[in-house]
Structure 1
């Protein structure tokens, strides 16, 4: 499917208007979070981009932070020349390389060659007073100003119909992408979840904390059959599908957070067909 890039008419913005932040973060940055796409939205109101399967990073003008506010440890050369203005993106190691990206980022001093395989995919700037359409122009200008091959601007386009969006999702996932992000062009920067930012994936996903282990039966006897997990809302359920043999022998520990996929909810709010995906990196909590 052809994607119409509607940004060609936008000139590069002046970097001097980016918001300056305090010298050091004292709490998690107030970032926007995406809600699930419902299928009834007016798509012409939204920009569409690929959802990169990496670790979200936030440059506060002085240091690179995780979305939970923890300081990351990139080499000096990786952030050299970055401006004293806030912007954010995804630390990404390529399609299907989430575990590699998480491993690099969680090390206090990962080797240079590991960081040279990373990309910082910039998708927004912290300039609360202007719309997302204007912020796209700003972050494109910022990336051009930094002028480093590992700092890249996330491409934005628009699709006219939900069928076209579905086709683009299929193409993106087939190429190894995680999904898509919809961002309302007229929206101002707003922290938390809202209808201005939506995620589109083949299946929904969420996080839960491991609160126990259930011993398996049959071929899984004497090892973990399922995890008992608890959502941030306090709902508990079992998560057994998706665990491989190594994870059943050495399961995620009680207290760790995991990501799971599911297909809708039951009448009681329990995720249907929930399947374990991975342990959530500690740097994100």
Structure 2
């Protein structure tokens, strides 16, 4: 199968300056909705949902879901195709999101390429889609597979398989959670790539996410004192880097948690996932 050039299938509205970059990337990217259990997964395509940072390759640079250019070393993307757009996640490993966010933040002002390359030695770009291909998900995934087949060892393709039903989905989710993974993505096998959040992609996760408001640092541990939307205060665990670089008071934070305590309605075991600032990388 020949690899199509982006210029052949890029929507005209994105071709005004010949580039898909920055805010245009953010507007173009497709995002899934949470699976609520009512959708029968039989016949849908499933793949592992990695606990990383979303990264869109436009043929020359990697961008986050916010349209920010990711501060990757030149060597990291040197083997990626220049004529194919890719969607994926940069990832270090299971249960290491805080390590990855620390790498990203340290890389922003790092000018020494060899030093930055060493910092990124364990990071991988894990591809799951070829957004500009006009086909359904299976066709786009096959297109992405061919595009990265001769890339460097830091570039990976996330495998896919058809889901046979709820038991298959639950067994797969249990395997991933056992590895301390995040969850599963379900894809409508017939849907094309469509910008924005839609129900042709469903996220199946064991963890929940919620936005809280930062109040202050906890002087006794690496955690932030925050306020939930219901007015209840909680302590949110964070990395040492985030603790020493706290956001301004009142900043919105997205945290991952394990549900709510029945009586207090306080979220269980919250951990900082990201800081929601306009200048945030991720």
TM-score by length of 1: 0.77
Provide the secondary structure at the position in 1 that maps to 2:193.
Answer: coil
Instruction: Tell me the residue number matched to 2:231.
Output: 237
Q: Specify the alignment match of 2:213 in structure 1.
A: 210
1:202-281 superposed matches below 5 A: 202-206=206-210, 208-213=211-216, 226-229=225-228, 235-240=229-234, 242-243=236-237, 253-254=248-249, 255-263=251-259, 273-280=267-274
**Which range moves more in the overlay, 240-249 or 118-127?**
240-249
Residue 200 of structure 2 corresponds to which residue in structure 1?
196
Tell me how large the CA RMSD over aligned residues is.
Answer: 3.3
Corresponding residue of 2:85: 86
Residues in 2 aligned to 1:190 and 1:196: alpha-carbon distance in whole angstroms: 9
Distance in 2 between residues matched to 1:161 and 1:26, nearest whole Å: 39
Residue 124 (structure 2) pairs with residue 119 (structure 1): yes
What TM-score does the superposition give when structure 2 sets the normalisation length? Answer: 0.78
1:170 maps to which residue?
174
Contact 1:91 1:119 in 2 (8 A): yes
Pick aligned residue for 2:55 from 49, 54, 57: 57
The separation in 2 between residues aligned to 1:224 and 1:51, in whole angstroms, is: 26
For structure 1, the residue ranges without an aligned partner over 5 or more in a row are 1-12, 230-234
Cα distance, 1:151 vs structure 2: 0.6
Distance change >3 Å, CA 156–CA 225, structure 1 → 2: closer
C-alpha contact (below 8 Å) 1:45/1:186 kept by paired residues: no
SS of the equivalent of 2:184 reads strand
CA distance in structure 2 between the aligned counterparts of 1:153 and 1:214, rounded to whole angstroms: 39
* Cα distance in 2, alignment partners of residues 63 and 236 from structure 1: 40
SS at match of 1:182: strand
**Where does the alignment leave 5 or more consecutive residues of structure 2 unmatched?**
none
The alpha-carbon deviation at position 127 of structure 1 amounts to 2.0
Aligned-pair CA distance for 1:73: 1.9
SS of 1:155 mapped into structure 2: coil
| Closer, same or farther: CA 105–243 of 1 in aligned 2, 3 Å | closer
What's the secondary structure of 2:173's corresponding residue?
A: helix
Q: What secondary structure does 1:16 align onto?
A: coil
Question: Alignment partner of 1:113: what SS?
Answer: helix
Counterpart of 2:21 in structure 1 is: 25
Q: CA deviation at 1:119?
A: 0.5
Provide, for residues 122-142 of structure 1, a one-character-per-residue CA deviation record: whole Å limited to 9, x for no partner.
011112632111101111111
